[in-house]
Structures are given as structure tokens and as C-alpha cells.
Amino acid sequence: MSQTESQIPQLEIQLRQANNQLSILLGVPAQDLLPRLGTAGIPTAPVEVAVGIPADLLRRRPDVRKAERQAAAQSARSASPKATSTRTSV
């Protein structure tokens, strides 16, 4: 019994560390996430798991797709003046 009780402080530290890691992944300041997580059960994995090459998996992320669109738009904007200056000089 005392051995189990002696593990409680270490388990509480691990819980706080996991909570802080989740806060980082969610992009929110470190806070107690238990109220936000609720009391739902552990979710089950889907029967089929989408597989693919890492680049395809990265492109599914909304932040990566947004960055790609921004890069394409910036590229189009920077190419536009060059195209018009080439046309006017011909």
C-alpha cells in the first residue's frame, strides 16, 4: 500500500506533463484541460487506417494546406510583374 501511495506524486507530475503537451499541440496556454476533455470514453480506432507516404499525410493537415496556398499565391504575385514587364518590352 505504501509503495502505491509513493507513486502518486510521480503520476501527478506525468499527468501535468501530458496536459502541458496537449496544450502545446492545441496551441493554447498551459491550463487544466480536464474540464474541456469531458468524461467521454476512450475512442476506438477506425477499422481502416489511411496509409500513404508522409508527404501525403502532411498535406491533409489544414495548416500545411494553408501554407501551400499562401506560397502559391505569393509565387503568382511575384511572377506577375515579371510577366507584364516582359510583355511590354517585346
Does position 82 have pLDDT exceeding 80, yes or no? no
| pLDDT recorded at residue 86 | 53
CA 31 from centroid of its chain's CA atoms: 18
Does position 87 have pLDDT exceeding 80, yes or no? no
* 41 close to 35: Cβ distance less than 8 angstroms: no
* 23 close to 29: Cβ distance less than 8 angstroms: yes
Grid cell, residue 21, equals 503537451
d(CA 59, CA 57): 5
pTM of the predicted model, to two decimals? 0.42
| pLDDT recorded at residue 36 | 82
Q: Would you list the domain boundaries of the chain?
A: 1-30, 47-90
| pLDDT recorded at residue 57 | 80
| pLDDT recorded at residue 84 | 53
